Structure 1
């Protein structure tokens, strides 16, 4: 069975997913055969060049023309275009993978999840960090009771690409286009890993901050004065949270953390042990078991570790891009086999509810229950 895939978006995430689809037959021969069928975008010249580089059969400038002719539709556009194309594809009975956060507001995310439930086909919210072997290894430890009763979850996601106040404005700085800033862009990943590893978020107390109120527009302005646009989203956020079973949690993300390029780190502490993980050392998991005086660094590259048997001999590490291969393998296999897939749109909606509650908490200055 060959699955025809249509992809909206050809920049950062378009490259990541196209690369993943190209790698599947080499390393996951049991995966369904995939045809990179159509690439969708607005700029015809740039689109044609991208389709040639990324291996797509053809291009289209209107997503409405393709959502009913493919076996899977990947919505990798900016947050404000997640809802309409995804809902249209689902109404056509087409499985959809959508980038995170699921939408730029809670109402749109609810509409997308409702459409997914009505369609009854596999959906995916692109939380690719669930597919890091070390994260899967951590989940197995927790589920096997190795850490005992879980007391704490800590998660932070730090970047520094906006520290310079002259860094140009982009759609990620707009509430209308992105919904939120570091909260949705980075925090969504952390919240999803908390749900994946420990449990649902029940209530939150959040704080959001914008450090630079306006930014120059690339190529804009005149007379020596650059044109600027307002920044209407957060540059950083932090939150206290209570997870199910009374687990205490803290979440934090910033695009102003000088010296941090892509530092997504989590900790889980239990009555019998603890674990620590950092995306910048994604092949390693630090594990503390009862009776140990310190953490053991486990190199998660053995053949029996999650997904690793598809790659290299022990100790030959994999990278960030491989998480997309695992994600695509699981999602496309679910489509081919007619099976359930997670994280789906319901998972994306659950995260969106937490993001919305954190924003509401910041506005109200008090704890907010997650609906």
Structure 2
């Protein structure tokens, strides 16, 4: 094992029992950690999912998690629980990984950033699309000036899991998920990725949102297939008013005045998880499609080429994350494991931020996303351009 923590394995606890909790548990194991327990909605639920994930302990409460003193807690619960659970973990001096959105308001997110800084803990957010190797290749080429001066950035993030008017989950409930659904859930990923790649933060936004069905079942089951257990907690025969958006369109201006645009939808038939962006510059363009993550498209006035992930070629950051030979596909779970491994490397650094891997998304990035989400919602509510704090 690497240095820090006496060379022993990192001990990890997971809060949450849905699909994404399973992803975190698998990524933790892939990164060499020991997953010591899981906390669910009830003690029986904790025990059930602990058995399904082959985890030795199902916790009865958050207090039990903290008393067990894991090195890292992964918070994978509905959005309204992120702030109180992460804050409790941080105040106990435990490192934390919290799902996005970091909180249901920018104010809460900022409080978490301050608390983590004060406690001196590692606090990260899984903006894992940063960890596709070819994303790092595009970022490095942008930074090296190979695309020239930024002219525009555009793209979309499309899913179809809410296409059926009878589809629902806890995310539809603004009380559990927050005032934004589609943009908070997936638009935040797109914005983080594009700002990460270009190095140019968005400074203002004009947005519009739409709710395509006025009601949906008042059910709170899993968001996607792959959960250890469906775990419905409400009667799907009851319907509730929908107050969170299914689609959103946002037009941004960067600090240098350039335009960016994104279309976000959870009702795009046939699109399962299509995060796509293109960066256009004075010397060339680059595009990435998360559903085809092994390659990137680069173009200029003379033509275009497809660049494939390869650990023997390209910029160092791409090669670092390309962990298998070219032609042996890497994907989402590999990106997630790489993010978790970088988080644990920061934990092992024991306060030495100079040893943190480049590009590690922290609570500061999560707070940035919360500000973008809040501004998009405000702009959509009154149709005005809004500055992003």
Normalising by structure 2, we get a TM-score of 0.87
Equivalent pair of 1:200/1:243 in contact (CA under 8 Å): yes
Equivalent pair of 1:241/1:249 in contact (CA under 8 Å): yes
1:166 CA drift (Å):
1.9
Task: Tell me the SS of whatever aligns to 1:77.
Answer: coil
Distance in 2 separating the partners of 1:201 and 1:236: 20
- Name the residue aligned to 1:23: 30
- Name the residue aligned to 2:308: 299
CA displacement 1:192-223 (0-9 Å, x = unmatched)? 0122112211100011111111112458669x
User: Would you say 1:348 and 2:341 are equivalent positions?
Assistant: no
Task: Tell me the SS of whatever aligns to 2:291.
Answer: helix
- Consecutive unaligned residues in structure 1, runs of 5 or more: 26-33
Query: Which stretches of structure 1, 4 residues or longer, exceed 6 Å deviation after superposition?
Result: 219-222
Distance in 1 separating the partners of 2:322 and 2:135: 17
CA displacement 1:48-89 (0-9 Å, x = unmatched)? 232233242312121132235111111111100000010111
> Where in structure 2 are the equivalents of 1:1-371 lying within 5 Å?
1-25=8-32, 34-67=33-66, 69-167=69-167, 169-179=168-178, 180-198=180-198, 199-218=200-219, 226-289=237-300, 291-293=301-303, 295-304=304-313, 306=318, 311-338=323-350, 339-340=352-353, 341=356, 342-371=360-389
Task: Tell me the SS of whatever aligns to 1:82.
Answer: helix
1:292 CA drift (Å):
2.3
Distance in 2 separating the partners of 1:366 and 1:131: 34
Aligned residues: 357
Distance in 1 separating the partners of 2:134 and 2:190: 15
Normalising by structure 1, we get a TM-score of 0.91
Comparing 91-100 with 114-123, which one deviates more in the overlay?
114-123
Equivalent pair of 2:310/2:322 in contact (CA under 8 Å): no
Task: Tell me the SS of whatever aligns to 1:321.
Answer: helix
Distance 1:310 1:357, change over 3 A: closer
Distance in 2 separating the partners of 1:11 and 1:23: 19
- Name the residue aligned to 2:228: none
Equivalent pair of 2:195/2:201 in contact (CA under 8 Å): yes
Task: Tell me the SS of whatever aligns to 1:67.
Answer: helix
Comparing 117-126 with 43-52, which one deviates more in the overlay?
43-52
Equivalent pair of 2:12/2:28 in contact (CA under 8 Å): no
1:156 CA drift (Å):
1.0
- Consecutive unaligned residues in structure 2, runs of 5 or more: 1-7, 220-231
